[in-house]
Structure 1
Amino acid sequence: MSDINANGARLLNLSSKDEAVSVASEIITAELDLAVAKRAKASFMVSGGSSPKPLYQALSKQDLLWEAIFVGLVDERWVKEGEPGSNATFIRETLLQNEAAGAHLLPMVTDHESAQIGAPIISRFYMELGQPFDVAVMGMGTDGHTASWFPASGDLAAALDKNAADLAMAVDATGCSGAGDFPSRMTLTRPAVVSTRNVILFIPGAAKRDVFMAALDKDEMDAPVRALLDSGARLTVLMCD
């Protein structure tokens, strides 16, 4: 395991995905346990994608006071739970199992026709968790996006605004390769993410490691994942071959 420092953040290059899952699970479990002990509840923001699936499955077996843990989403496709592409469904089926079945999952979709209409409601809803959030698990696409902060999205500048007043906003990612078949999104904004007490960027695999390391020398509009460095020492990046 090698340990690199970037803007105060720890960049850990681990020997395997299993080790990355183990280290991430240990960090997250400790931080959630501490948050519950200090504040009688914890807020845990999670991302979708295939990479964190084994991490969530491992966390689901941890002996925590899950009834006091509120699980929110870093971002979501504008689809209802149960429909194809839903991050909420993915989290319910991977994390909210076993010991973690009693955790509270907070949706990021309303009954409104568009994400633009629902965004103020979601922002206020997530605000009720209290700020800052306790833990956030972030992922990254091979295009350098994290959350629903996509290069070339017309909404990227607003999502990355350091002074964004809202916790969540709608994103139109039409034409962005990383968005796939779901261009209409809801996402946490930069201030909501980087103010989180503990940010874990979980990017196993050599290809993603190389994308992230290259992003350190790019403009954040071209590689939005770079914005996570604003978290400073509260950011831990877990990479492996």
Structure 2
Amino acid sequence: MVGHLMIDTYVMNDCGDPVAAAAEAIETALRTALAERGKASLMVSGGSSPRPVYERLSNADLGWSKVSVGLVDERWVDPGQAGSNEDFIRETLIQNAASDAKYVGLKTSAKTVEAGLKEAENRLASFASPFDICVMGMGTDGHTASWFPNAGGLDAALSLTNEKTLCYVDATGCPVAGDHTDRISLTLKAVLESHNIILFIPGEAKRKVFDKATDKPLSEAPVQALLRAGSKLHVYASPAS
């Protein structure tokens, strides 16, 4: 189980207000990147949990025109269709002060993820690399990004020898994935190479899932793969009960 390799080195932030703490951490990392390199890259996840984080972050007074924003993963649906993470990010983050940010979507005109992977990879080539920040979430099944338990393509997604930035995941049979099972996602290697990795897991139920992740095989709780990041991984969670 991969998680046992780094379990003592990641940073756990038990927060009374994980939303404010996570938003502040992202803003600080962006300011650092802009000061040091003159540009920044921010990769964000969908899902309902980070909505208040993004809405708060959208009001941050910083050089958003020099920030490239992209997705950690996306359902293979066009913007405007149900389930689009792009729509979610535009509604929550690319607003207010952050409306000046450069947003780059992953969904292409290709019919399948496999056919669109190359174009999507090319879109991300303009980003500051390695990514400055990857904001990760976690489902109640222990998935993060689109690394669903026992999903098709999971081994390739989590392989540290996979040099690709993006991968295809077939989440057929994964209940949390819902009706949109064709997914495009960052690979584990691309996430681990980022300067900062923030995992946002508010609420007691998700905290319990995370705390027990390393008791399971990696294929059943893929979130534990993030523990390979060591001290680059900062977890913002509600305090354990």
- Could you tell me whether the CA contact under 8 Å between 2:74 and 2:85 is conserved in 1? yes
Cα distance in 1, alignment partners of residues 231 and 125 from structure 2 = 24
TM-score (norm 2): 0.94
- Could you tell me whether the CA contact under 8 Å between 1:7 and 1:229 is conserved in 2? no
- Tell me what 1:23 maps to: 21
**Of 189, 192, 198, the match for 1:191:** 189
1:133 CA drift (Å): 0.3
- Could you tell me whether the CA contact under 8 Å between 1:25 and 1:58 is conserved in 2? yes
Q: Equivalent residue of 1:109, what SS?
A: coil
1:137 CA drift (Å): 0.7
1:25 CA drift (Å): 1.3
1:232 CA drift (Å): 0.7
1:125 CA drift (Å): 2.2
Q: Which amino acid aligns with 1:115?
A: V
Q: Which amino acid aligns with 1:14?
A: C
Residues matched between the structures, number: 234
Cα distance in 1, alignment partners of residues 67 and 118 from structure 2 = 23
Cα distance in 2, alignment partners of residues 210 and 184 from structure 1 = 28
After superposition, what is the alpha-carbon deviation per residue over 1:97-126, rounded to whole angstroms, capped at 9, x for unaligned?
111011011110110010110012212321
Cα distance in 2, alignment partners of residues 157 and 30 from structure 1 = 33
- Could you tell me whether the CA contact under 8 Å between 1:7 and 1:233 is conserved in 2? no
Q: Equivalent residue of 1:56, what SS?
A: helix
Matches within 5 A, 1:81-96: 81-96=79-94
1:218 CA drift (Å): 2.2
- Tell me what 1:40 maps to: 38
1:93 CA drift (Å): 0.3
1:217 CA drift (Å): 2.5
Q: Which amino acid aligns with 2:191?
A: V
- Tell me what 1:209 maps to: 207
Q: Which amino acid aligns with 1:226?
A: Q
Unaligned runs of 5+ in 1: none
Q: Equivalent residue of 2:33, what SS?
A: helix
Q: Which amino acid aligns with 1:149?
A: W
Task: Between the two structures, name the one with larger relative contact order (CA 8 Å, sep ≥ 6).
Answer: 2
1:132 CA drift (Å): 1.1
Matches within 5 A, 1:1-241: 6-15=7-16, 19-240=17-238
Cα distance in 2, alignment partners of residues 25 and 176 from structure 1 = 30
- Could you tell me whether the CA contact under 8 Å between 1:171 and 1:186 is conserved in 2? yes
Q: Equivalent residue of 1:38, what SS?
A: helix
Unaligned runs of 5+ in 2: 1-5
1:7 CA drift (Å): 3.7
Q: Which amino acid aligns with 1:131?
A: S
Q: Equivalent residue of 2:144, what SS?
A: coil
TM-score (norm 1): 0.94
Cα distance in 1, alignment partners of residues 23 and 95 from structure 2 = 15
Cα distance in 2, alignment partners of residues 185 and 154 from structure 1 = 10
